[in-house]
Amino acid sequence: MSLLQDEFDPLAVVGDWLDACRWGEIDALLSLYDERATMECDCEHVSLSGRKWIAAYWAPKLESKAVLAFSLNDMALTADGVRLDYKGDEGKSVRMNFRFGPSGKILHTSCGPLFCTA
């Protein structure tokens, strides 16, 4: 294992992802993604590949986000990355799964609405 992999903290990267979204910093957000990153959004039924298209997806959402957007509900390590439950740009509950490449950059995300039962 390389030194970079030993120092890689996937939970910290996801925390940085939330912070970038919360502050509307598209460049900071994109810097967390691998050049070949892919994204699947079941909320809007889109599949994207590459930073250019991920930027096109996120930029308007970060500009018009709800007040409570990108607040953390839950975060946990999974067998292949991190599961994040948070308030999306419209303030609705969303679950996003993150997978990472060897460099510690986000390689793939998939998200969908999180339906909670009481």
pTM equals: 0.89
> Do 93 and 74 form a contact (C-beta atoms < 8 A)?
no
Q: Region 66-84: what's the mean pLDDT?
A: 95
Burial class from Cβ neighbours inside 10 Å (0-12, 13-18, 19+) for residue 77 reads exposed
| Cα 42 to Cα 3: distance, rounded to the nearest angstrom | 36
Q: Which of the four pLDDT bands, split at 50, 70 and 90, describes residue 43?
A: confident
Q: Is the separation of the CB atoms in 13 and 31 below 8 Å?
A: no
The answer to whether residue 118 scores a pLDDT higher than 70 is no
- Look at the block and give the residue holding tokens 């460099």: 103
CATH number of 3-113: 3.10.450.50
Average pLDDT over residues 87-97: 94
